[in-house]
Amino acid sequence: MPILMYHVINPPIPNAPYPGLYVPKREFAQQMDALAKAGFVGVTLGQLWRHWQTGASLPAGRPVVISFDNGYQSQYSNALPILVRLGWKAIENLQLSGLPPSEGGLSEEQVRGLIAAGWELDTQGYSHAELTALSRSQLRFQVLDARRTLQRRYNVPVNWFCYPSGHYNAAVIEMVKEAGFIGSTTVIPGWAHRTTNPYTLPRLRVLGGTTGAQLISLIEGTKEEPAPPAAYE
């Protein structure tokens, strides 16, 4: 099953260091409509995991997880209404610092709005740190403390971790497990399967300029990609 990765749902700002991570609202809507036309339906990792573990039913259609990284305000203002129109749920991989509302970050009220709309709240840790370079105590702060903080603040499970920049190694995975996360997502392309290591789930990065037809081709073309490695730094 594909897990899609998005960042900013707006046109790129002048001199943006990573302009490809900006997907304009109209383009995002076209992509979502193309998914719906192809029979896909947006679900959360929690729904997928329950289906894999217990056989719990999923909404009718081809399941796809739509994930949003970092906590950009445009995910609430631009992406949420489009997904509400389709009746789909998504995932917010929130970092706790680094994106204040004045710089385009989600406010706590907006995060609560996403949760109220059925979105699943997960995390990239406290500050989108380079986890593979941290000591054990620093890792604990970024991973375990971040989860506990979000659980207390929003009263939700926060069961999935998202590796910042996709980087991880054995020590990072060990801390993610110790913190009680069910699994983690990477930036390595491919589909997530029932037999995939839950701590190295692949995702498909969707870049600006991708048409709906190109998105469908990307999804179908990566179905047989190899599983992510045990470490990725």
Task: Answer yes or no: are the C-beta atoms of 60 and 54 closer than 8 Å.
Answer: no
Residue 228 lies in a domain: no
Residue 109 lies in a domain: yes
Residue 178 lies in a domain: yes
3-class DSSP state of 192: coil
Length of the chain: 233
Q: How many domains does the chain fold into? A: 1
179-211: pLDDT as tens digits: 999 999 999 999 999 999 999 999 999 999 999
What is the identity of the amino acid at 171?
A
What is the pLDDT, as a whole number, of residue 99? 81
**Closest to 166 measured CA to CA, from 221, 133, 128:** 128
- pLDDT tier for residue 221 given thresholds of 50, 70 and 90: very high
Answer yes or no: is pLDDT of 36 > 80.
Answer: yes
Residue 70 lies in a domain: yes
pTM of the model: 0.96
Residue 89 lies in a domain: yes
Residue 194 lies in a domain: yes
**Closest to 23 measured CA to CA, from 206, 220, 226:** 206
CA 233 – CA 231 distance, rounded (Å): 7
What is the pLDDT, as a whole number, of residue 92? 98
The residue range of the domain holding 48 is 3-221
Domain CATH code at residue 217: 3.20.20.370
Residue 229 lies in a domain: no
Mean pLDDT value across residues 65-86 = 97
Does the CA dihedral 86-90-96-98 come out positive or negative? negative
Residue 133 lies in a domain: yes
**Closest to 157 measured CA to CA, from 81, 36, 46, 75:** 46
118-175: pLDDT as tens digits: 999 999 999 999 999 999 999 999 999 999 999 999 999 999 999 999 999 999 999 9
